[in-house]
Amino acid sequence: MKNSDGLRIPRSFIIICVALFAVAILPLLSRARTTSTPVNVVNNSSGEIRSVYSSHVNADDWSASLLGSTISSGSSAQLSDVPCDAQQMKLIAEDQDGCFTTTVITCGQSSTWTITNDSAKDCGH
């Protein structure tokens, strides 16, 4: 009887340790998949770009604005830390009229997004 009782305590202890280790490592594994992707946003439109947001491609889970200041007509801004946790991310630009233009970028690759007057816009109409 002593042998069976003596084995239960270490076996339970080992199971608890393995479970705690698994719970502790899960957040580290999920963070390992997040990368930062550099994007150069070029404004070749006649208006200014006030904000640029990121979102997952098939969702409307917009980030806070990634811009430090507006992008005036004929200027560009380098976004060095666009967070990516998937193969692709959607970028959304908002102009001075509150209209939105979107594009999809491939994560892990440097990208250039050129916005023109001909870029499709969603102005809520």
Q: From CA 20, how far away is CA 48, in angstroms rounded? A: 52
| pLDDT at 17 > cutoff 50 | yes
Q: How far is CA 79 from CA 9, 15, 39, 97, 107, in A?
A: 55, 46, 5, 22, 13
Comparing 21 with 108, the larger pLDDT belongs to: 108
Q: How far is CA 51 from CA 9, 43, 54, 57, in A?
A: 59, 12, 10, 18
| pLDDT at 28 > cutoff 70 | no
Comparing 59 with 23, the larger pLDDT belongs to: 59
| pLDDT at 1 > cutoff 60 | no
Q: How does residue 32 score in pLDDT terms, banded at 50, 70 and 90?
A: very low
Dihedral of the CA atoms 16, 18, 23, 25 (nearest 10)?
A: 150
* Domain boundaries of the chain, sorted by first residue: 1-32, 35-116
Comparing 100 with 8, the larger pLDDT belongs to: 100
Q: How does residue 101 score in pLDDT terms, banded at 50, 70 and 90?
A: very high
Across the range 63-68, mean pLDDT stands at: 91
CATH classification number, 35-116, choose in 3.40.80.10, 2.40.30.170, 2.60.40.2890, 3.40.190.10: 2.60.40.2890
